[in-house]
Chain A
Amino acid sequence: AQSVTQPDIHITVSEGASLELRCNYSYGATPYLFWYVQSPGQGLQLLLKYFSGDTLVQGIKGFEAEFKRSQSSFNLRKPSVHWSDAAEYFCAVKKSSGGYNKLIFGAGTRLAVHP
């Protein structure tokens, strides 16, 4: 069965430091992968997605993610974190079942940013 694991529940970084959020997936075929961000009191916003092609994907707000098939990973990175990046981040994989597609979400990683 398809699943998504985000090993880190909470991460704290200093403003200006680099960031990497881990995501591992379990999927039989080539996955469609996503990263969403949820700011406090807000809905989820799509940061980036991977369907095929270049394994390094650029997203909004300076984020990027790299798809590594050999490691079943799709880690999210940012070279320099801003205080406004404090939020919860969700990795997701698209599952195809019975003729429709749905997203399977990881449990989320909450990011805190120290000044």
Chain B
Amino acid sequence: EAQVTQNPRYLITVTGKKLTVTCSQNMNHEYMSWYRQDPGLGLRQIYYSMNVEVTDKGDVPEGYKVSRKEKRNFPLILESPSPNQTSLYFCASRGAAANEKLFFGSGTQLSVL
């Protein structure tokens, strides 16, 4: 089954404690992206990757890092989380063509205390 898998689904942490949210897709997609969803703001793009070892900032990259060492994986790293990073995070992927649809993961609800 084609899917985007994020882990964990829920995460509670404390300020400053490094964490990683994993994302994996099984569709051999070139493009992967991370979004955060906040009430009243919709989804905003954090980082994206066009292919292995090719990443770039989205609209709200501050406080986040990503890596794309393998095509299927695109982890989101918070080196020093802060309370304003409490949010619902989504990973998404699609093929290389511009008109391909995005496949979304089920989301990771992060709370930073």
Contacts and interface: CB of A to CB of B under 8 A. Distances in A.
B16 to A, nearest CB: 29
Nearest to B98: A101
A45 interface: yes
Nearest to B44: A105
B58 A45 contact: no
Contacts of A102: 33, 45, 48, 58
Contacts of A6: 42
Nearest to A101: B98
B98 A42 contact: no
Name the prevailing secondary structure of the A interface residues.
strand
Interface string A70-110: 00000000000000000000100010100011110111100
A100 B50 contact: yes
A36 B45 CA distance: 16
A107 B41 contact: yes
A17 interface: no
Contacts of B11: none
A90 B50 CA distance: 24
Given A49-B101, A102-B58, A103-B102, A42 B107 contact: yes
A46 interface: yes
Count class of interface residues, chain A: 20 to 34
A96 B98 CA distance: 9
A88 B105 CA distance: 16
Contacts of A103: 43, 45, 102
A71 B35 CA distance: 29
Contacts of A115: none
Given A102-B33, A103-B43, A103-B102, 7 more contacts: A6-B42, A43-B4, A43-B92, A43-B106, A43-B107, A102-B48, A103-B45
Interface of B: 4, 33, 35, 40-45, 48, 50, 56, 58, 90, 92, 98-99, 101-102, 104-107
15 contacts: A32-B99, A43-B4, A43-B90, A43-B92, A44-B90, A45-B104, A49-B101, A51-B99, A90-B42, A102-B33, A102-B58, A103-B43, A103-B45, A107-B40, A107-B41
